[in-house]
Structure 1
């Protein structure tokens, strides 16, 4: 299991949706920071069931490791309904998931990650936190421009200039694919952490929690399920060939 690499007084705020990526990022932060708080957003997403998964994941992480139990702090939820109100997307409306004009899937919510990070920084200022962790990824994703490394770096610069601060935005999944994300979970917490994330996290854009597949709950057809399924199968194949 991973050991702490930072001073215990350092604190982190993890953008925690209740999905596979953010759950892995939460474990990553718990292995490195002395105090870790979590932040979720309710913005009218169709898969709002993901927010309901967070407490089971937090409880499971506390049970995984006594040190993590000591470090895991408050959970926060912010209502950003206005984002959903202005977003005509398949994530915030009942619509068929498809590619939109310009080559982006219609699940793209314009400005979402930029807004999330801005609100996270505002909360971090009140909570005395300098490190902000988000699970965005440029390697294995749906093409969202606000998941790119350049975007996150630009947001960090803007936040630090605009708030006269020294925030550090951490993106531990930026350059790894979904199979490597499962492998990172195993590195951080062994098979028990992989099992926890597999069973309790939520990825499916349609909010399907009724069907349990080998890779987790989901409809099995939406782009998020497809990415998760492919990553799980590659992870299992890699373990078998090791």
Structure 2
């Protein structure tokens, strides 16, 4: 286990929740940060406290390492973004080939603010759920973009930050498997119940993989991944 502390970019979704567990298994002190940028699915932010509380209750060793949570308001990002995540608009492909759920610069801005917070908190490691293996093709989720951002942060802040992306080369089924490897069926169940990935913010409909509309791209990815994960499990060990 590393003695250095880590700051996890924790949105309240499946990916960042899995990354939080990953960090707790590796670092002696772990803090979390979320960003309120006027996202349409703001309900994900409301899930963060329940998930953290569930981790602390079910995993006492992790509870001792789980530090403060921070929530930063980035209203300007929502104000300048004409996207389906920051406006009431139908989710569809954009003219540039990217889905209109892409918020330009979002992850780059998140990492810059996270690094500034980590600098103040004395944390050297930043952990994010960016992934280019099983995603919507967002350019700021690519491995090259994250590596370039690490260089920029280290040069611009004269500090040594290490950016970790545990899910970069994992599809959604592998992300569920990672959660099981980290915390067993209890962590899988906690992620299903207390995280949110649906782009339209639907918490009314409960599926085996969690809450959501069941039709948006985020729900489709989460559902397909969960079904592939479950299909590979021995029947007697499959979590509910």
1:199 and 1:162 mapped to 2: Cα distance? Answer: 40
1:34-113 equivalence runs, <5 A: 34-113=28-107
Secondary structure of 2:140's partner? helix
Counterpart pick for 2:199 among 205, 210, 213: 205
Counterparts of 1:36 and 1:228, CA distance in 2: 26
Give 1:190's aligned residue.
Answer: 184
1:53 match: secondary structure = helix
Q: How far 1:178 sits from its partner (Å)?
A: 0.3
Q: 2:226 aligns with which of 227, 232, 238?
A: 232
Give 1:240 shift: 3.8
* Local SS of the residue matching 2:72: strand
Cα contact 1:133–1:170 (8 A) shared by 2: yes
Q: Distance in 2 between matches of 1:32 and 1:79?
A: 28
Give the superposed CA RMSD.
Answer: 1.0
Q: Distance in 1 between the 2:28 and 2:176 partners? A: 24
Instruction: Please list the CA deviations of residues 23-62 of structure 1 after superposition, one character each: whole Å capped at 9, or x if unmatched.
Output: 0000000000000000000000000000000011001111
- Does the 8 Å CA contact 1:64/1:189 hold for their aligned counterparts? no
Does the residue aligned with 1:45 lie in a helix, a strand or coil?
coil
Look up the match of 1:138: 132
**1:111-126 mapped onto 2 (5 Å cutoff):** 111-126=105-120
**2:211 match:** 217
Deviations 1:103-142 (A, max 9, x none): 1000000000000000000000000000000000010000
CA distance in 1, matches of 2:93, 2:17: 28
Dislocated runs of 4+, deviation >6 Å: none
- Could you tell me how far 1:65 is from its partner in structure 2? 1.6
